[in-house]
Structure formats: structure tokens, C-alpha cells
Amino acid sequence: MEKIKRKRGTEGATMEDIAAATGLSKMTISRVFSGTGSVRKETRERVIEEADRLGYVYNALAGNFSRGKTQLIGFGVRFDGLLGSEYFAGIYRGAQNRLAKEDLRLIPLDTSSREYQNGENLMSLVAQRRVDGVMILAPLEQDELIVNQTFEEAPMVVVGAQPSHSSISWADMDNVHAIECLVDHMVSLGHQKIAYIAGPEQVSDAVTRGRAFIDAIKKHGLELPPEYIANGGFHYSIGRLAAKQILSLDDRPTALIAANDLSALGAMDMIKELGLVPGKDISVAGVDGSYMAGEVTPALTSVVQPLEQLGARAAELLIEQMQGDTSVVGTQLVRGELKAKESSGNVS
């Protein structure tokens, strides 16, 4: 091959140098490094060999910008409620590990801030191609407008919720299965009087879990007095208050299931404060499989959410959209695993 004479003071080889050395067009050289277009195997190997000889380093970032790509994925999350939580960390880690295999990177966006509440700024990021796709974590009911508008602008996946828009891809834990596991577990221990601490009404997963609890109780032919269901939230203090309300009933339940671990832990704290023993006087269980569930005494029975798997599945759905037909809708339900601990025991 022709030896290239470089000008003094020039830093590194260029595509023009490789084109001159191989006799190929700069367009062909660009296709080899960007991975776009069709290039024969022999030609590709010839270009790479000459690039190595010249010490050429492809600037992927510049190449991406020239094609209108940034390799960045916007990760919409409520900073005031989810950022820094185990839930966020697990899903983020699973999604990022999968996206990294495609040279994609997540950047968090605060959907709870005033800047993004109406969705306009989030959409402008997409419209200006500052991000190539969007993942939105556990949107609330009031976030539906943001989700629907953003969907019109770019590849998008919702994770940790099932959006009402039938054309939006999503990945979520099988919440019905999780609650069924807990009710089945309590019934297997002889419990007939089972109460429930509900989650926030504006969170779709919480609503699904609440309905699943009622259905599971009916499936077993058990009675469910209205006072056995306490309005709650995903907070420790809510669990305490709800447990106090339920345990003050004349016909007290023997088991208590909470919509998440944090409220279940609050309920356990109140049970102890009232002089009762969780797992003996009243059984308790939650949903999440959080770190704290295994640190308390007694350890909390819980359905473990497969967070990293959930994040990876959501990432795969987004990658499919980015690489193919965006009209194809993908959905993923991932099942959690029941971990029975000392907080649930045989009915006394």
C-alpha cells in the first residue's frame, strides 16, 4: 500500500489518510467505523488493518453527532421520592448494564421538578436530539400527560408501571402474583383473618396490589370486613398508623399484609409498641425484599422484586425500538420471589 506522508504538526491519522492509502472513498471508510450502511467483509478488514497501521482512532462521539445521535438515554425519575432508593438503584443498575453493551448511557432527569412537570422540557430534549430515547420510572397518574407526549417524540419505555396508553412499551413486576403469593402463604399457615395496608392511590402498582389482595381473599373464600383494609402509603409512619387502627378492632386479624416493605416495617414497630410479638401474636408481610427487611427482628417475610432484571428487560425493550420498528409494543411482566421469614408464623 502507498505510504502516507504526514504534515509536520498534524495530530493523528484521519479518514482521508485511510481513504488515500486504501483507494477507497471517505464515505466507505466512514461506514466501516460508524457501522452504518453495507460494507463487504474484505473491505472492512482492509480498512481496519490500515487504520491500525496509521494509528487512527475513531471519534465515536463526533460520529454520533454527525448522525444526530448522542448515545444518551434520558431516565425520568422523581428526585424527591425515588432517587437514592433501593428501588431506583436496582432498576438503574440493571438498565445501565444492559445499555452499556450497546454503548448507551443513562442520564437521570427529575420528572418531579417544575421544569419537567408539563413535559415540554422533556420533549424538547428529545426533539433537539440531546437524548436518543427515554425510560420513565414508576410514573404517577398525574405524569400520564408527560408519558403520552414524550412517547410521540422518541423511543420510550415505562418501567415499574403499566401506562394506560396501549401503544407504550413497559416492564413491570407481576404485582398480582406477588400479592397472591403472600395471601397463599398466610392461608397455608392457618390464617383466616387477614388485613391489608394499601399503598398510595396515585401509584398504579399500589392500585394493582390492592385489587389483587381482594381477589386473592375471595379466591380462598375468606371474609373481608371493610375495616380490614387501611388506607396507606409507601411510608414507615403510614404503616405504624394503619397497624394501630387495625389492631384496635374488637375482631382483630391474625395476619397483616402491607403494599410494600416500608409500611410493613412501620406496622411491625407498632405491633411491638403495643406489646405484641410479630410472627407469633400477629403475622406480617410486605412487598419489595428490601435490605431492611432482613435487618430487623424478626426478619420480615416479603416478595423480593427482581429489580436489576426488571431494569435490564426495560432496556432491551428500548433497544428494540431504537434499532427497529418503533410501532412494535413490547411488554414484560417479571415475577418476584417469596422469602418467608420469622415475621410470619402459624396462627395462634
CATH architecture of 175-305: 3-Layer(aba) Sandwich (3.40)
Residue whose entry in the numeric block shows the C-alpha cell 437521570? 108
Q: Residue 337: what are its φ and ψ, rounded to 5°?
A: -125, 130
| Cβ atoms 236, 263 nearer than 8 A | yes
Does the global pTM surpass 0.95? Answer: no
**pLDDT at 8 > cutoff 70:** no
CATH class of 72-172+307-334: alpha beta
Which residues, other chains included, contact 13 with Cβ-Cβ below 8 Å and sequence gap of 6+?
Answer: 4, 6, 51, 54, 55, 56
- The model's confidence at residue 146, banded by pLDDT at 50, 70 and 90, is low
Q: Tens of pLDDT along 240-288?
A: 999 999 999 999 999 999 999 999 999 999 999 999 999 999 999 999 9
Q: Which of 290, 292, 277 is nearest to 345 (CA)?
A: 277
Produce one character per residue of 219-251: b if its CB has 16 or more CB atoms within 10 Å, e if not.
Answer: eeebebeeebbbebbbebebbbbbbbbbbeeee
Q: Residue 192: what are its φ and ψ, rounded to 5°?
A: -115, -25
* Helix and strand counts by DSSP (H, E) for the chain: 12, 12
Q: Name which residue leads in pLDDT, 249 or 146.
A: 249
How many angstroms separate the CA atoms of 289 and 305, rounded?
6
| Cβ atoms 303, 337 nearer than 8 A | yes
Determine the pLDDT at residue 223. 96
Domain ranges of the chain: 15-58, 72-172+307-334, 175-305
Q: Name which residue leads in pLDDT, 150 or 165.
A: 165
Q: Tens of pLDDT along 281-328?
A: 999 999 999 999 999 999 999 999 999 999 999 999 999 888 776 666
Q: Residue 301: what are its φ and ψ, rounded to 5°?
A: -65, 135
How many angstroms separate the CA atoms of 218 and 118, rounded?
41
